[in-house]
């Protein structure tokens, strides 16, 4: 029952965040220096035609009515049409772009979590020894090196010099997708991986100093079991919370990575739409990206009480 309430509150908070995001993007769209009525009326339209189209599109109604309507439409994944070209519905564009971005980011977050938790645990077990020092140095590098510095360097080594991997995503791909996605995923994962490593290490070092761990060692529990079952299980909670937060870094990264590797995802779509001043696409892309961030964070937070009985009890 308590769990249900805790989950309910988290859902409510997530819903408020989503509404905040829709409101911000709505305000941004209002502020954009482009009048959709003028654009859809075409260049030769007279002032009266523009007025008629504005009325037909419902743009002459007060802002709160239009905001309500935009919420309704967002909920039905109706984001209007692109301003230019064939005036394709934005929903269709998103349907095409989102899967690849999700695929790359989820692969990256899985890679980052697996390696980050492993290296962090390793560093904590060998605290202040050579393994620990090298892991810390590596993770400092990973946190501070910008991904658009890392990417060209790795592309130079693995694609240009060694010729092991393709340089760009191509429409006609000759190799399995794995080869095309390897570099993007690794580069995207680098920063969250480094952050999760540091956090796991810090959390593990704290946990392993506690009495129940010393107790477990003293009563002769095998070392591996002490590390995994007794320490890691306790230490991993803050790490899981930050997996959600680091998804934000991944989204930032996906703008850069998709541009560098010409991946047809939502990040590249956003940048191209900004340069083309195609506001409906920009608005929808930012909205959907923000929503993915909020929803993923929400899911991660809801895993916590399932993993940890203490949180389950405390959240009344």
Partner 1 sequence: MKKRKDPFMVAGLIYLGLLLIFAIVWPMLRYHYDQSVGRPFEPPNGKFWLGTDELGRDVLVRVAYGARVSLFVGFVVQAISLTLGVLVGVLGIYSKKWIATPLMRFTDGMFAFPDILLAILIIAIWKAGVIPVIVALAVTAWPAYARLVYTQVATLKDREFAVAAKAAGGSTFYVVTRHILPQLWLILFAVSMVEIAATILAESTLSFLGIGVQPPMPSWGIMIEVARENMNSHPELLLPPCIALSVTIFALNFAGDGLRAYFDPKTR
Sites of contact with partner 1 (CB under 8 A): 16-17, 20-21, 24-25, 28-29, 31-33, 143-146, 148-149, 152-153, 155-156, 160, 248, 251-252, 255-256, 259-260, 270-271, 273-275, 279, 282, 286, 289-290, 293-294
Q: Which CB, 3 or 159, lies closer to partner 1?
A: 159
Q: Which CB, 118 or 158, lies closer to partner 1?
A: 158
Shortest distance, position 95 Cβ to partner 1, whole Å: 20
Q: Which CB, 165 or 256, lies closer to partner 1?
A: 256
The region, left, alpha or beta by phi > 0 then psi within -120 to 50, assigned to residue 85 is left
Burial of 277 per CB tally in 10 Å (0-12, 13-18, 19+): middle
DSSP state, 165?
A: S
Shortest distance, position 80 Cβ to partner 1, whole Å: 16
Distance CA 11, CA 76 (A): 20
Q: Which CB, 33 or 220, lies closer to partner 1?
A: 33
Shortest distance, position 143 Cβ to partner 1, whole Å: 8
Tell me how far the alpha carbon of residue 63 is from its chain's centroid.
31
Q: b/e for 283-307, b at 16 or more Cβ within 10 A?
A: bbbbbbbbbbbbebbbebbeebbee
Shortest distance, position 149 Cβ to partner 1, whole Å: 5
Q: Which CB, 24 or 307, lies closer to partner 1?
A: 24
Residue 15: partners with Cβ closer than 8 Å, 6 or more residues away: none
């Amino acid at each position: 029952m308590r769990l249900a309430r805790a989950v309910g509150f988290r859902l409510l908070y997530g819903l408020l965040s989503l509404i905040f995001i829709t409101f911000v993007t709505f305000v941004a769209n209002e502020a954009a220096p482009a009048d959709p009525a003028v654009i859809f009326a075409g260049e030769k339209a007279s002032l009266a035609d523009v007025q008629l189209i504005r009325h037909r599109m419902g743009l002459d109604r007060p802002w709160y009515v239009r905001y309500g309507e935009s919420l309704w439409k967002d909920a039905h994944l109706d984001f209007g049409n692109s301003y230019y070209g064939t005036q394709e519905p934005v929903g269709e564009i998103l349907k095409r772009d989102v899967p690849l971005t999700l695929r790359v980011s989820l692969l990256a977050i899985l890679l980052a979590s697996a390696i980050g938790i492993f290296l962090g645990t390793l560093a904590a077990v060998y605290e202040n020894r050579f393994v620990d020092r090298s892991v810390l140095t590596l993770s400092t590098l990973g946190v501070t090196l910008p991904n658009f510095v890392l990417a060209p360097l790795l592309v130079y080594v693995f694609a240009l010099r060694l010729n092991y991997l393709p340089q760009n995503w191509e429409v006609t791909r000759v190799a399995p997708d794995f080869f095309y996605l390897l570099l993007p995923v690794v580069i995207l994962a680098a920063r969250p991986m480094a952050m999760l490593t540091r956090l796991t290490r810090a959390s593990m070092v704290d946990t392993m100093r506690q009495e129940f761990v010393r107790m477990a060692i003293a009563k002769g529990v095998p070392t591996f079991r002490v590390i995994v079952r007794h320490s890691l299980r306790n230490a991993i909670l803050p790490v899981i919370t930050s997996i959600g937060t680091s998804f934000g870094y991944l989204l930032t990264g996906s703008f850069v990575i998709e541009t560098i590797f010409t991946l047809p995802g939502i990040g590249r779509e956003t940048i191209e739409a900004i340069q083309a001043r195609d506001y409906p696409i920009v608005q929808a892309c930012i909205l959907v990206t923000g929503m993915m961030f909020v929803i993923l964070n929400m899911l991660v937070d809801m895993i916590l009480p399932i993993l940890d009985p203490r949180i389950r009890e405390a959240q009344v």
